[in-house]
Amino acid sequence: MNNIEIYVFEVVKYLPRHLREDVKLELTSQLMDMIEDLDHQDHAVQTVLESMGSPKVLADRYLNKQSALIGPRYYEVYSKIIKIVILALTLAFTITFGIKIFFSEVISLWIILEYFGTLLNASMMAFAYVTLIFAFMEYKEFKIEDKDLESTSWTINDLPQQTIDLPTHRFENIFEIGFLCIVLYVINIQPNLIGIYSVVVNANESVWKVIPILNEVTRSTWIILVNGWLGLLLLSGIIKAIYRLSDHQRMLASTILDSIALGVFAFIVLTQEVIVSNVAGLIVPDNEGFSMMVTRGSLIVVALIFAVNLYEIIKRFIKLNQKKGL
């Protein structure tokens, strides 16, 4: 891939999707005109690209960069994440309230009002948190850009060796962000829904029952750690979606967050009693063999999750080190 293509890519990757193809075509044509006009072809590309300046600065000019709470640089990603988070919350609320209604003997207007009230409240909180994160990022970039992005300091040697693949669909990790929002909601607002579902057959009817498995006795000690763990994973997912940052920045930030999250996960597993101790007994009472199978099986699953995540993190750190060494 030649430097012109890489330069153009480095500009358009910061632009909204609907502008990319058009700007790519136009800018490439304009650069070719400038290069052709120069006599000595050896350094023509370098001269032209360095006269155009840093791709990030040029992209800002295309965006008509202005000071804003959340400017055009981040707005596209921000609006998509807001939609994902609110959609995930609505889904979570609807499912859990649906289950609540399913289990309640009396369906009252109060439950319906509670549904809409809680949904509105949670949506506004989620909107506030996501807006705060992106406003902070906009502020940080705005503060550093004056000294960091002077076009005279950019040279052709600052171009990467090759381009990355931009996602072909909206987000690669849309499911990750949505799923984490749902889990966070359920663990904090409706923890009793995480449990063993069974049908109790009485004389003339069968009744659905859920036996919660989260340890309510020790909840006050583990809930903060679990929220912290899930929060780190969610933040990592959001950062992966922000293509305004360079590949290196995204990979480094998400790898560090995932490492800390893995450490917190290990700490939770080793020291906290998140799940009640006699889960197997709740399913099949008085069966030692089954209890042992469930306990060992759980340990194997947890160990596998830990090992796979650790392997992924180590692989990413090695890749980051290799890129640094290039």
Partner 1 sequence: MKEIVDGLLLELRRGVLILGVLSQLNQKEYGYSLIQKLQLHKFDIEAGTLYPLLRRLEKQGLLESSWELIENRPRRYYQISQQGVVLYEQLKKEYFDMNAIMSQLTQGEIT
Q: Which of 55/178 has CB closer to partner 1?
A: 55
- Two structure tokens written together for 150: 């002077």
64: region left, alpha or beta (phi > 0 left; psi from -120 to 50 alpha) = left
- Two structure tokens written together for 142: 């705005």
12 near 19, Cβ under 8 Å? yes
Instruction: Write down the least CB distance from residue 121 to partner 1, Å.
Output: 39
Q: Which of 33/114 has CB closer to partner 1?
A: 33
Instruction: Write down the least CB distance from residue 245 to partner 1, Å.
Output: 22
Phi, psi of 160 (to 5 degrees): -70, 165
CB-based burial, 75-86: b 16+ in 10 Å, e otherwise = bbbbeebbebbb
Distance, CA of 75 to CA of 80 (rounded, Å): 8
Which position among 6, 8, 12, 27 is part of the footprint of partner 1 (CB under 8 A)? 27
Across-strand partners of 196?
A: 211
51 binds partner 1 (CB under 8 A): yes
Q: Which amino acid is at 57?
A: V
Which position among 34, 44, 194, 213 is part of the footprint of partner 1 (CB under 8 A)? 34
157 binds partner 1 (CB under 8 A): no
**Rounded alpha-carbon distances, angstroms, from residue 66 to 58, 61, 184, 246:** 14, 10, 35, 21
Which position among 26, 114, 148, 172 is part of the footprint of partner 1 (CB under 8 A)? 26
Q: Which stretch binds partner 1 (CB under 8 A): 23-31, 128-136, 138-146, 173-181?
A: 23-31
Which position among 57, 82, 149, 213 is part of the footprint of partner 1 (CB under 8 A)? 57
Q: Which of 37/286 has CB closer to partner 1?
A: 37
Q: Is 65 helix (H, G, I), strand (E, B) or coil?
A: coil
Per-residue contact flags (x/-) with partner 1 for residues 61 to 100, judged by CB under 8 A:
xx-x------------------------------------
Q: Tell me how crowded residue 53 is: count the other CB atoms within 10 A of its CB.
A: 16
Q: Which of 4/302 has CB closer to partner 1?
A: 4
Task: Using CB under 8 A, list all residues that contact partner 1.
Answer: 23, 25-27, 29-30, 32-34, 37, 51-53, 57-58, 61-62, 64, 151
